[in-house]
Structure formats: structure tokens, C-alpha cells
Amino acid sequence: MPPAPDERLSPPRKRGLGWVVAPVLIFGALVALFAFALKTGDPSKLPSALIGKRAPTIAFVPIEGLVDAGRPVPGFSGAELATGKPSIVNFWASWCVPCAEEQPLLVELQKRTGVTLWGVNYKDDPVAARRFLGRYGNPFAGVGADPSGRGAIEWGVYGMPETFVVNGNGEIMFKHVGPVSAESIATKLMPAIERAKSAATPN
């Protein structure tokens, strides 16, 4: 039976806008959540999909011209973190004011605990990065450059600075968003380091 004339002539129904609006609303809600956590809450509680998982294996090349005691400071990769001992990875930049505030605390943390620290210099000028480390201290066994920001994306970094505690298996145990303080070192980083120490060693 042929369709009624009005059915043949009626234009196709337009797709609703819900399929466009819904993702935008979800994204906006996530942005609002992150902004709230950063400004009014505890930024270290921002979600991280990497907790309990192996650190990304991306390799960070050395900072051009960076030396320590006359020797070039190497870069590093995530694969080098599975040493059987806990380590700390810190994302920083010379243009980041909170990074300068926390750097002496990281120097002291390394001296006090002996834990290996690795630094990732984010979207920075090599000259400025070298000047920063010369002024505020270099607690890092290796410092890699992340000029494009790809490494920060792989690690799920929201902004500078961020600090990760990694266990001897190369698994991320803890993430701290924002500058560390004496209080956060005592109440968060140190307990995370102890948990990392008690984790199983690589097979």
C-alpha cells in the first residue's frame, strides 16, 4: 500500500541537538570539577587513571647543556623507573613560580630520604631551565626535556608542578598536584614513599 501523500512530501525529521549538547555539558562539568579542586579543595585529590599502573615508557631527552660536576645530566624514560626501589618524578618549569617555591624542599627531601628523584622540564627554554637549577638546586638524578608537552599528556599532568611517587616495579603509587610543602611532604609524600618501599620488587 503506497504511503499517504503527506508522508511522501514531508521533509525528513531533523536530528535532535541532544547528541551535540550532552558531550559539551559533560566536558564543562569535568572542567568545573578540576577548577574547584584546584582552587578550593585539595588538588592532590584530582583523579588519575595511572595510579596503580606502570609509568608511561615515554623517553625524555636530556636538557641541552645541563651538567653536574662537569658531567652531562642524563634524561630518562619510564622504563628506567623499575629499579626495585621507589623513586619520585617531578614535572616543573622555570617559568612556574610554585616550582621555584617547592624546589628547595625537593632538594631537602632527596637528602633526607635518599630516594632517587627524576625531573621533567615542561615546555621550557634550556638556558632558563639550567639557570633555574643553578639557582634553586638540582636534586635530580636525571632531567628530561618535554618541549612539546607530549610527555606530560602521557603522564596525565594537569599543570606545573606535579609530583609522582613510583614503586620499585615502576608503578605509580601517588600523585601530588601543585607545589609540595613541608606539610604535604610529611603527611602525603613520606607515607607514599613508605608504601612504595613495601611494594613487591620486580619479577
pLDDT of residue 199: 78
pLDDT of residue 49: 79
State the pairing for strand pair 116-122/140-146. parallel
pLDDT of residue 142: 97
State the pairing for strand pair 172-177/59-62. unpaired
pLDDT of residue 154: 96
Helix ranges (H only) for 11-125 are 18-39, 97-113
Cβ neighbours of residue 89 closer than 8 Å, sequence gap 6 or more:
55, 81, 117, 118, 119, 120, 155, 163, 164, 166
- Phi then psi for residue 143, to 5 deg, are -130, 120
Q: Which fold has domain 45-198?
A: Glutaredoxin (3.40.30)
Starting at the edge strand found earlier in the chain, the sheet holding 87-92 runs 76-77, 59-62, 140-146, 116-122, 87-92, 162-166, 172-177
pLDDT of residue 22: 52
Run means of pLDDT, 10 residues per run, the chain, 203 residues: 46 51 51 44 58 94 95 95 96 98 97 96 98 97 97 95 97 96 97 88 51
Domain residue ranges of the chain, discontinuous segments joined by +: 12-39, 45-198
Q: Which of 78, 96, 53, 88 is nearest to 150 (CA)?
A: 78
Q: Which of 172, 170, 169 is nearest to 201 (CA)?
A: 169
Nearest 10 degrees: CA dihedral of 62, 114, 193, 42?
-70
* pTM as predicted: 0.77
pLDDT of residue 17: 54
pLDDT of residue 12: 47
